[in-house]
Amino acid sequence: MDFYSELNNEKIKIDFNSPIDISVPIEFQDDCLLAWGQSKPKKSPVRKGDWVGSIKNGASVNFNNIFFNPHAHITHTECCGHISIEEESINSIQKSFFFFSNLITVNPKKRGMDLVISEDMILEKINHEFKYETLIIRTNPNLPLKKNKNYSNSNPPYLTKDCILFIKKIGVKNLLIDLPSIDKEKDNGKVINHKIFFDIITGGNTNTITELIYVPTKVPDGEYLLNLQFMPINNDAAPSRPILFKIQRL
């Protein structure tokens, strides 16, 4: 199915027949996606007396309990409640689910012992008249192992303060990235970039950050319609499934 609309006063066609899923699912094997020192997620059948919720064990259905952390085990979308004493819920804050967006690919650069994404890398990739509320950042190297990597204690790349200030300045309200955080893994709890992006000093906003995505290399940089869906959980973050749809200018 094709859908016709306008983007920046130009007619466009959106192809809904070829969705591009950039989420990473929860896996339960040993080599699964992990971050923040968490152990792997758990899935086990419910047990009630002699009854076990597993068809293999004679039950009529599979009936599992699942234990996981949205920040550590799966693509997730978070709101200001992640760093606010009010503990706002992403399910209460986010009420829109379709966004025109721009996908860019950057090469984090060495700075001391770290790899960082700086303001000039973003500037190099976007038009100075940036007109999107959503920015998707893919980092190189972009190997499929990102989908089952253990990021704990690995000091992954992160955004500089100037970078997040610039991203916010150009009007980005929904930021997606293929890393476990926009802040340095170990920063003594400062989480400066989160505080800036979520306007914590002035009481918070409705911006969102989606982390631990994976955008296949074959997907070119450019404009997309993003459908950002997440589980309706009243929590600061929830597992999410961002889907991209190609945009064709007419």
Backbone torsions φ then ψ of 195, nearest 5 degrees:
-65, -40
User: Residue 56 in contact with residue 43, Cβ under 8 Å?
Assistant: no
- Compute the distance between CA of residue 93 and CA of residue 148 in angstroms, rounded to an integer: 30
Residue 10: pLDDT band by 50, 70, 90 thresholds? confident
Pairing state of beta strands 222-230 and 237-249? antiparallel
pLDDT of residue 104: 97
Both structure tokens of 199? 């306007």
User: Residue 45 in contact with residue 54, Cβ under 8 Å?
Assistant: yes
pTM given for the model: 0.95
- Compute the distance between CA of residue 219 and CA of residue 139 in angstroms, rounded to an integer: 13
The position carrying tokens 């209460």 is 92
Q: Pick from 88, 84, 95: which is nearest to 234 by CA?
A: 88
pLDDT of residue 155: 98
Q: Where are the domains of the chain?
A: 2-26+70-249
pLDDT of residue 58: 95
User: Residue 176 in contact with residue 132, Cβ under 8 Å?
Assistant: no
Mean pLDDT of 32-50: 97
Q: Hey, how many other C-beta atoms are within 10 angstroms of the C-beta on 120? A: 14
Residue 9 clears pLDDT 80, i.e. is over it: no
- Compute the distance between CA of residue 1 and CA of residue 14 in angstroms, rounded to an integer: 8
pLDDT of residue 4: 63
203: CB partners within 8 A, 6+ apart? none
Element (H, E) at 168: helix 161-169
> What are 209-218's pLDDT values in tens digits?
999 999 999 9
Residue 14: pLDDT band by 50, 70, 90 thresholds? very high
> What are 158-193's pLDDT values in tens digits?
999 999 999 999 999 999 999 999 999 999 999 999
- Compute the distance between CA of residue 174 and CA of residue 209 in angstroms, rounded to an integer: 6
The reply to whether CATH 1.10.10.410 applies to domain 2-26+70-249 is no
Q: Pick from 24, 10, 29, 32: which is nearest to 149 by CA?
A: 32
Residue type, 57: N
**Mean pLDDT, the chain, whole residue set:** 95
> What are 42-62's pLDDT values in tens digits?
999 999 999 999 999 999 999
Both structure tokens of 218? 């074959």
- Compute the distance between CA of residue 75 and CA of residue 8 in angstroms, rounded to an integer: 30
User: Residue 199 in contact with residue 205, Cβ under 8 Å?
Assistant: yes
Both structure tokens of 175? 């930021």
